[in-house]
Amino acid sequence: MPDEIIAQRRSLPDYLRYLAERGEFVLDTDVEEQVRHVLATTGQIRVVERVRPNGRVIEIHSNPVPGGGFVLIYSDITERKRNEAEIAAARDAAQEAARTIEAAFQELKIAQANLIQAEKMASLGQLTAGIAHEIKNPLNFVNNFASLSVDLLAELKEAAAPGFAALSEDQRAEIDDISKMLTGNLQKITEHGKRADGIVKAMLEHSRGASGERREVDINTLADEALNLAYHGARAQDQSFNITLEREFGDGIAPIELNPQDITRVFLNLFGNGFYAANRRAKDGAAAGFSPMLKLTTRDLGRAVEIRVRDNGTGIPEAIRDKLFQPFFTTKPTGEGTGLGLSITYDIVTKQHGGTITVDSEFDTFTEFVVTLPRAMVTGEGGRP
């Protein structure tokens, strides 16, 4: 405040009015309102900070004096406030740097884990291919000679017909029983040999990771056909099989370019697993009124399409969820699953079509697989759940 103003020995409101007119209080009110506001707190013990019009920061200590009046102490704390701001900015920058470093460290750990997994998969693919080739050769002999033995048995029976007629009825019945038993055994050998051959072929396809020709297809039609095929296939294997199928197809989904044979295989694997889980829950003593159900949903995401397969089966425990897509991992009893279905499904979706596949589940309640397939022909591995 200029010396000439102080020399006039004005009243306190006059001094405050002078300061308010200069913008010292920086309040969004008129001058008189500012004066009333300051007078209302004058004489109280308080500490306030004020930013002057020139940008300086002033700290004001107000101390009442016994018998009336008060003492004001003004301190210029501009440098202190600037230092505090710089320290706060440095602290925030350090915290942000720490978060960035932590995020980079986590990304590095994820990349390292993915690299280790990729190396394991590459080694496993080579091992799988080698084993499959070694098994395939003797397996071909088993299948071929089993089929040939059935034919030879028929020829033997035909050649021995003259002598067969001379035998007693009991002897002929015994030979007939043995012949039927041999024929049945050979047919079982052929049946299971073909099943083993299918497993070997799946192992070879998994190790090669080959993809076929792509073309534009209607995803709703493809998924619906695969669902019908899976349902009738399950019915053919077990006449008591029963499940409610729900379809919720997105409208107006434009055709998408993909390998229909491979994606059909993906659908069959997912549907088959859903059928198995829902019926297993029904057989394992589900609550009264429980009905196995599988729901198929498609949705257009613009640059991609989404397919959801949800069942109300046994669910997947969280402890094993991260192992679902590993080769040869299965929760089914011995002889009911090879552990290759979801692994091959993962490779088809992510590596051959550049999509993603995730799983959500609640034990003894539901399991839902979500597949996204991009419209653009992009290949490369997507994210493993």
Do 152 and 225 share a domain, yes or no? no
Question: What length does the chain have?
Answer: 385
pLDDT of residue 384: 42
**Across the beta sheet with 244-248, what order do the strands follow?**
244-248, 293-300, 304-311, 366-374, 356-362
CATH number of the domain that residue 323 is part of: 3.30.565.10
**252 CB contacts (<8 Å, ≥6 apart)?**
300
- Note whether residue 183 is domain-resident: yes
- Note whether residue 97 is domain-resident: no
Do 225 and 199 share a domain, yes or no? no
Residue ending a domain, choose from 152, 178, 208 = 208
pLDDT of residue 199: 64
Residue ending a domain, choose from 18, 53, 76 = 76
- Note whether residue 88 is domain-resident: no
pLDDT of residue 381: 45
* Helix extents (H) in the chain: 3-7, 12-21, 31-41, 78-159, 161-166, 169-208, 219-237, 260-283, 341-346
CB 297 within 8 A of CB 267: no
- Note whether residue 86 is domain-resident: no
Task: Give the span between the Cα atoms of 264 and 328, in whole angstroms.
Answer: 21
Domain that holds residue 65: 3-76
> Could you count the other beta carbons within 10 Å of the beta carbon of residue 149?
17
What SS3 class is residue 181? helix
- Note whether residue 96 is domain-resident: no
- Note whether residue 266 is domain-resident: yes
pLDDT of residue 176: 82
**249 CB contacts (<8 Å, ≥6 apart)?**
220, 223, 224, 296, 297, 298
Do 48 and 153 share a domain, yes or no? no
Residue ending a domain, choose from 208, 228, 252 = 208
Do 281 and 196 share a domain, yes or no? no
Do 282 and 334 share a domain, yes or no? yes
Do 284 and 309 share a domain, yes or no? yes
What SS3 class is residue 213? coil
CA dist 283 → 277, 286, 287, 361 (Å): 10, 7, 10, 20
Do 165 and 292 share a domain, yes or no? no
Do 136 and 57 share a domain, yes or no? no
pLDDT of residue 296: 96
DSSP 70-130: EEEEEEE-HHHHHHHHHHHHHHHHHHHHHHHHHHHHHHHHHHHHHHHHHHHHHHHHHHHHH
Do 254 and 201 share a domain, yes or no? no
For residue 63, the cross-strand partners are: 71
Could you list the pLDDT tens digit for every one of the 385 residues in the chain?
788 888 888 888 888 888 888 877 766 678 888 888 888 877 778 888 888 888 889 898 888 888 878 888 889 999 999 999 999 999 999 999 999 999 888 888 877 776 776 666 666 666 666 776 677 778 888 888 888 888 888 888 788 877 877 788 888 788 888 888 888 888 888 887 776 776 666 556 545 554 457 889 999 999 998 898 888 888 878 888 889 999 999 999 999 999 888 898 899 889 999 999 898 888 887 777 789 999 999 999 999 999 999 999 988 887 777 777 776 656 665 555 555 678 888 888 998 899 999 999 988 889 999 999 998 765 444 444 4
CB 284 within 8 A of CB 317: no
- Note whether residue 154 is domain-resident: yes
Do 119 and 183 share a domain, yes or no? yes
Domain count, the chain: 3
- Note whether residue 193 is domain-resident: yes
Largest Cα–Cα separation, the chain: 152
Do 172 and 305 share a domain, yes or no? no
Do 158 and 219 share a domain, yes or no? no
